[in-house]
Amino acid sequence: MDKGHNKRFFEVDAFRGIAIFLMVIYHFFFDLDFFGIHEFNTHSGILLIIGRTAAILFIVLVGVSLTLSHSRALSLHGTQNQFSHFLKRGAGIFAWGLVITVVTAIALERGTIYFGILHLIGVSIVLAYPFLKYRNFSLIAGILSLFAGVIMDGAYADFPWLLWLGIKPYGFYTLDYFPLIPWFGVVLMGVFTGSRLYPEYQRGFRMCDCENNAVVGLLGYLGKKSLLIYLVHQPVIVGILFLFASI
């Protein structure tokens, strides 16, 4: 087990790097299909698996990271009230989600992203705060949220005001949609996982001595820069595709 409270757990960064790498791959093929450059079916098969694996892994790691941040603060400062920190952090990520909403509303004829993965993460960081002290309750609430998502999968309404919850208006179409139900349940599963694997900001399991491995190091670097990569990778991919298409 690790005894230092100031270090990062390289495996968490590496897994986040894997998630962002898979997301970039998925969006590359999605953009090829979306802009009519080459036809790919991104709604089934291996590409769907890549996209969903990236999203699930990324969202689970949100919950894991929240438990690490919480337990680290308790270990270093002994403070119980960290809500203002989580509120600020969640609001910042949600604000980036709003930027994506504005950009997609301006740039696209249809498919505006109203509640995508960044909106979800921003809200979930705030909502997950009460669950950080109660490991088993986070597991139960996560399972219930996932079950509710199955029930609400075909839920529609004549208005868009519950879009964030998972109730879609008729004819709704968006390029990125991660409503609280069921996806907040995935965050809570991450909270449960993190509290089990890293009690009191220490590893509760044996880990390979591979922190200095080149591949692990690269993945870890990508994981640390995941928000930046997420924000810029689509404009970069689209720019490259249109450059080659013009050539």
Helix, coil or strand: residue 177: strand
Q: Which two tokens stand for residue 142?
A: 């996560």
Chain-centroid distance of CA 8 in Å reads: 19
Which ranges in 38-82 belong to alpha helices (H)? 45-77
The dihedral sign for the CA sequence 69, 75, 77, 82: positive
Region of poorest pLDDT, from 22-26, 57-61, 80-84, 166-170? 80-84
**What is the DSSP track for 180-211?**
HHHHHHHHHHHHHHHHHHSGGGS-SS---S-T
Report how far residue 232's alpha carbon sits from residue 112's, in angstroms, rounded to the nearest whole number.
Answer: 17
Q: With the CA atoms of 111, 112, 118 and 122 taken in that order, what torsion angle do they form, in degrees rounded to the nearest 10?
A: -140
Peptide bond preceding 182: is omega within 30 degrees of 0, i.e. cis? yes
Whether pTM > 0.85 for this model: the answer is yes
In this prediction, residue 27 has a pLDDT band, given cuts at 50, 70 and 90, of: very high
pLDDT at 78: 62
Tell me which residue has tokens 């590496």: 14
Residues in the chain: 247
Q: Is there a contact between 153 and 212 (Cβ–Cβ < 8 Å)?
A: no
pLDDT at 2: 44
Report how far residue 215's alpha carbon sits from residue 233's, in angstroms, rounded to the nearest whole number.
Answer: 20
Q: With the CA atoms of 47, 181, 56 and 64 taken in that order, what torsion angle do they form, in degrees rounded to the nearest 10?
A: 170
Q: Which two tokens stand for residue 64?
A: 């894991």
pLDDT at 246: 74
pLDDT at 1: 41
Enumerate the domain spans of the chain: 10-246
Tell me which residue has tokens 């409270």: 5
CA angle 118, 120, 122 (to 5 degrees): 70
115 phi/psi in degrees, rounded to 5: -145, 80
Residue 220: exposure state from Cβ atoms within 10 A (0-12, 13-18, ≥19): buried
Report how far residue 102's alpha carbon sits from residue 110's, in angstroms, rounded to the nearest whole number.
Answer: 12
pLDDT at 47: 95
Report how far residue 127's alpha carbon sits from residue 94's, in angstroms, rounded to the nearest whole number.
Answer: 13
Q: What is the pLDDT of residues 182-214, one digit of tens each?
A: 999 999 999 999 999 998 888 888 888 888 899
